[in-house]
Structure 1
Amino acid sequence: MNISKYLGLALVGACTLTACNKGGRSATNPGKYSSTTGIEYNTDEGMKVSDYQGIPEGPGLVFIEGGRTVLGSAEEDVAMSHDNLERTVTLASFYMDEVEVANIHWLEYLHYVRKDSAEEFYMSALPDTTVWARELSFNDPYVDYYLRYPGFRYFPVVGVSWLQANDFCTWRTAKVNERLASDASEDGGGSRKGGLFGRKKNKGGDAAEGTSEDGGVKIAIENGNTLPNYRLPTEAEWEYAAQALIGTQETGNENQENKRIYPWDGRQVRNPYGKNQGQFLANFKRGRGDYAGIAGSLNDGAMITEQVFSYPPNDYGLYNMAGNVNEWVQDIYRPLSYEDVEDLNPFRRNGYLDPSEKYDKKGYQSLIDDHVRVYKGGSWRDVAYWLSPGTRRFMAEDSATATIGFRCAMINAGSNK
């Protein structure tokens, strides 16, 4: 063995023992000792550093790889709103529900709310089933049956306001993290002892950090065994996920050479391929009085909403990102958001730029204030124009209809992948 080989082995050994090992540190492998102070972690003197194997899997979520895209309306602006002109932005990776929140999910929410929350809050969490009622239409059965009848379990929940949807996200975060924290506790025990909303207090601890002043669960973020908050997606996240341009991207090519009018390829709303050729790809209204076609040859097959797993998913694996029900997003509505928001993770929040005082709502010259929220995607009652991801509308955050539902999203914490 020559001397150069010995020197190589010595260098490898030194690298392993010193700098190279430090360079290999990561969130899942922080090392035994601090690279700042040299103090050993998880000792009486050292800081507690929990084991972390990456973000836990969130129930119902699909990973959405972020990147650069062009947001904005890709169709002729027939509404003449000019409120979503094309511009290039970048979105960080995130997670989104595979399907719209369904009636069975909302009934589960009501089940737990009734168990551990004030009756007043339970009543406020009930969807407005009267959204189905129409003076000149016999939709009366849906008022009584749509939410609770077992046959409608996996139809999207409707009659839910933006405020109610946010409360659902808060409850879902707490409930999922309660389970994760309990699973990760040393003795395998621990359960929620107090209420979340209004709030039935009981004594007792939690596997994570104990109970908060209102009887809820205190979760230590540093433990790494719980999830970030479930929340409504931002408008930009929703539009990006609906585009699903990852399905058109060629490997190794940084140019986005294709754009989609809808969450699928082509300019048509029918499937152009295979044995399902000619079938509609979303649940929408084809024309005046035509919600589903003729018996024996139904077009989208749904007179009202349809089950949340109906129709083919887009290239991110998301179902019904066009049609079925519109979906609430986080943003307040402003017509010039596309000009004002930043080009990295754009989001329109309350109370910043373009103040509501500029809009004459009191004089009935405008519908815009700080309590109107954007909704996207088109519904069973909308024509095909509204299925395009770039279209946008708005409604008061405390209002509800039979055409608007929602799905949840979550940040991808600690990773750019």
Structure 2
Amino acid sequence: MNFSKYLRFAVVGACALAACKGGPPTATKPGKYSSTTGIEYNTEEGMKVSDYQGIPDGPGLVFIEGGRTVLGSAEEDIAMTHDNMERTVTLASFYMDEAEVANIHWLEYLHYVRKDSSEEFYQSALPDTTVWARELSFNDPYVDYYLRYPGFRYFPVVGVSWLQANDYCTWRTAKVNERLAGESGGGDDSGSSSGGGLFGRKKKKGDSGDAAEGTSEDGGGTKIAIENGNTLPNYRLPTEAEWEYAAQALIGTQETGNENQENKRIYPWDGRQVRNPYGKGMGQFLANFKRGRGDYAGIAGSLNDGAMITEYIYNYPPNDYGLYNMSGNVNEWVQDIYRPLSYEDVEDLNPFRRNGFLDPTEKYDKKGYQSLIDDHVRVYKGGSWRDVAYWLSPGTRRFMAEDSATATIGFRCAMINAGSNK
């Protein structure tokens, strides 16, 4: 390299370091040259830096601004579990589905799974429709019709285990990112980016396997890469803390510029009652739940919540984050394994319990039938059409085996807010 070339790099580097054009570099405007070496990006010698305009819009997602809050039960602990005492935590901003995953979404999932994956996996992805069957109740029509009949398309999918919900999140991530990469010209149809064979199908001849991120594949396409910024982070189940925080929706009570959180809610809406106190909807129930023994919907001509079982996922008013049915309709799976003392053990920034760390499963005598707790039981939240109002409070929590399913548990997806603190 001659002296003039050295001089050119020095001048370019100095200009970049001083941010002489347009201010300091940012994620969306990194500049033409490296601010530390002065080497030009996107050249034979320089590093490839993709265009980035921020995280793409994720279908169905609503932005949840994070911050400090007090998590924990706001209701009397009638079960005497003492498993969700109040504590102050901070959560990073994230995204969450505005409504529960519905039957039509699960049928779409089954459609692609049957095309792209093994028959064995397809069978394992089928919801357990027998969760509706009861020996002493005539729920037989729901067994046959609830999942597939068009009228139930936008009712929440049920009969889905925690494990099945996680598989759905994996598939949804692959399918959405396949579309986004294709729209940006960054992907191909070879299967490497789309999740073809994601659940058991053998790779087709010519599949390139695991190429380095951001590099060209043998087939001529480009692998979906984090560095490209043209795809979304993983869809996943929300953590328990994220779910509870989003359900509280205290952003609706917060005064601008006030650092104090002076209000708390028993439910995802204002007030201590479960009826709408305002406007034309005054007196109407704000969630789908069981009012009392034998009362699922009220009397004909004056139904209360209007739903004997589940209901349309966009029914009832959304909370202040724009989320529907964060109380009632169906309970919802979250990521965390259950431990009664999680509120004491987990950290105060983005709290989450992924395993039995600090509270090992050996402490719980499940084999001796003295406990139901191990590392395969997961938390579910929110209350359902079959639950009384107590369980509608975001702080209440229950658990069930991760491979089990009922007619009262569904789920919604969440996603990190990558690349931003806002």
With normalisation by structure 2, the TM-score equals 0.91
The corresponding residue for 2:215 is 211
After superposition, the Cα gap between the structure-2 partners of 1:36 and 1:287, relative to the gap in structure 1 and judged at 3 Å, is same
What is the CA deviation profile of residues 51-88 of structure 1, one whole-angstrom value per residue up to 9, with x for unaligned ones?
00000000000000000000000011011100000000
CA distance in 1, matches of 2:292, 2:4: 80
Q: Is the 8 A contact 1:162 1:328 kept in 2?
A: yes
The corresponding residue for 2:97 is 97
Q: Is the 8 A contact 1:194 1:202 kept in 2?
A: no
CA distance in 2, matches of 1:384, 1:221: 43
1:24: how far off? Answer: 2.1
Q: Secondary structure at the match of 2:185?
A: helix
What is the CA deviation profile of residues 294-313 of structure 1, one whole-angstrom value per residue up to 9, with x for unaligned ones?
00000000000001000000
After superposition, the Cα gap between the structure-2 partners of 1:50 and 1:125, relative to the gap in structure 1 and judged at 3 Å, is same
CA distance in 2, matches of 1:199, 1:211: 25
What is the CA deviation profile of residues 276-298 of structure 1, one whole-angstrom value per residue up to 9, with x for unaligned ones?
00000000000000000000000
Q: Secondary structure at the match of 2:404?
A: coil
With normalisation by structure 1, the TM-score equals 0.92
CA distance in 2, matches of 1:126, 1:389: 29
Structure 1, unaligned stretches of length 5 or more?
none
What is the CA deviation profile of residues 287-343 of structure 1, one whole-angstrom value per residue up to 9, with x for unaligned ones?
000000000000000000001000000000000000000000000000000000000
1:351: how far off? Answer: 3.8
Give the 5 Å matches for 1:292-331.
Answer: 292-331=297-336
> After the TM superposition, which of the residue ranges 81-90 and 24-33 deviates more from structure 2?
24-33
1:36: how far off? Answer: 1.4
Determine if the alignment matches structure 1 residue 406 to structure 2 residue 408: no
What is the CA deviation profile of residues 94-115 of structure 1, one whole-angstrom value per residue up to 9, with x for unaligned ones?
0000000000000000000000
> After the TM superposition, which of the residue ranges 203-212 and 156-165 deviates more from structure 2?
203-212
> After the TM superposition, which of the residue ranges 15-24 and 338-347 deviates more from structure 2?
15-24
CA distance in 1, matches of 2:8, 2:221: 58
Determine if the alignment matches structure 1 residue 393 to structure 2 residue 395: no
Q: Is the 8 A contact 2:381 2:397 kept in 1?
A: yes
Q: Is the 8 A contact 1:194 1:203 kept in 2?
A: no
Give the 5 Å matches for 1:7-406.
Answer: 18-19=18-19, 21=21, 24-181=24-181, 183-184=185-186, 192=194, 194-203=196-205, 218-406=223-411
Fraction of identical pairs, as percent: 90
After superposition, the Cα gap between the structure-2 partners of 1:365 and 1:201, relative to the gap in structure 1 and judged at 3 Å, is same
Q: What is the RMSD computed on CA atoms of the aligned residues?
A: 5.8
1:190: how far off? Answer: 9.9
1:31: how far off? Answer: 1.0
Q: Is the 8 A contact 2:268 2:394 kept in 1?
A: yes
CA distance in 2, matches of 1:12, 1:35: 9
Equivalent pairs counted in the alignment come to 417
CA distance in 2, matches of 1:3, 1:142: 80
What is the CA deviation profile of residues 180-239 of structure 1, one whole-angstrom value per residue up to 9, with x for unaligned ones?
116555999998483210014224599997999999995211000000000000000000
CA distance in 2, matches of 1:6, 1:115: 57
> After the TM superposition, which of the residue ranges 70-79 and 185-194 deviates more from structure 2?
185-194
Q: Is the 8 A contact 2:9 2:38 kept in 1?
A: no
After superposition, the Cα gap between the structure-2 partners of 1:298 and 1:53, relative to the gap in structure 1 and judged at 3 Å, is same
Q: Is the 8 A contact 2:67 2:90 kept in 1?
A: yes
> After the TM superposition, which of the residue ranges 187-196 and 168-177 deviates more from structure 2?
187-196
Q: Is the 8 A contact 1:305 1:324 kept in 2?
A: yes
After superposition, the Cα gap between the structure-2 partners of 1:191 and 1:70, relative to the gap in structure 1 and judged at 3 Å, is closer
After superposition, the Cα gap between the structure-2 partners of 1:318 and 1:49, relative to the gap in structure 1 and judged at 3 Å, is same
> After the TM superposition, which of the residue ranges 385-394 and 37-46 deviates more from structure 2?
37-46
Q: Is the 8 A contact 2:13 2:33 kept in 1?
A: no
Q: Secondary structure at the match of 2:336?
A: strand
Q: Secondary structure at the match of 2:258?
A: coil
After superposition, the Cα gap between the structure-2 partners of 1:15 and 1:252, relative to the gap in structure 1 and judged at 3 Å, is farther
Q: Is the 8 A contact 2:213 2:227 kept in 1?
A: no
CA distance in 1, matches of 2:188, 2:360: 51
